[in-house]
Amino acid sequence: MALAGVMARKAKTADLAARVHEHFSIVLPMTPRRAIDGGVHFMWAGPGRWLAAAPNQTPATFERDLRRALVGLASVTGQSDGRSIIRVSGPKAREALAKGIPLDLDPRAFAPNDTAMTIVAHINVHLWQCDAVPTYDFAVFRSFAGSFCEWLLDASAVFGVEIVRKH
């Protein structure tokens, strides 16, 4: 998955939102939400900041296209090599994640396309809910991905766990 950090330039957030809408047909989220149109996602990461993702593009192409589209309005930094995306899904996902996430993942409190910047087992993560199954994606700094997976396996052992690799 191609990933890039997007940070609005000073006093350019409204212009950036207009450009993102014009170029990607996405309403840029200004709260902890994820916006998707086709192959591009923008996940809120704080005031004036987003994590942009393109599952079906190469990192170099995605970063180049973002920089061209957002020139003068935002700084774009490649994140593809620095983060791992770990997907957790299934009927017991909430129960397993509740063992280490200080958030209420009940569907009334955290629903599809909600996002959060939080910690899991002392590891900073950016998470978003993809669907109602529920399926969660975690953007974890690559150097902490192994530790996150060890925690996840421990938290999920009681429920049964399946590791699926996508290449």
State the distance between the two ends of the chain, measured CA to CA, in whole angstroms: 10
CATH fold label, 2-78? Alpha-Beta Plaits (3.30.70)
CATH fold label, 83-159? Gyrase A; domain 2 (3.30.1360)
Tell me if 2-78 shares its fold with 83-159: no
Helix (H) or strand (E) holding 5: strand 2-8
For residue 33, the Cα-to-chain-centroid distance in whole angstroms is: 10
Given pLDDT bands bounded at 50, 70 and 90, which one contains residue 162? low
For residue 89, the Cα-to-chain-centroid distance in whole angstroms is: 15
pLDDT single digits (tens) 45-92: 999 999 999 999 999 999 999 999 999 999 999 999 999 999 999 999
Asked whether 29 and 36 are in contact (CB, 8 A), the reply is: no
Q: What is the pLDDT of residue 166?
A: 64
Q: Whole-model pTM?
A: 0.92
Asked whether 67 and 76 are in contact (CB, 8 A), the reply is: yes
Domain locations along the chain: 2-78, 83-159
Asked whether 85 and 144 are in contact (CB, 8 A), the reply is: no
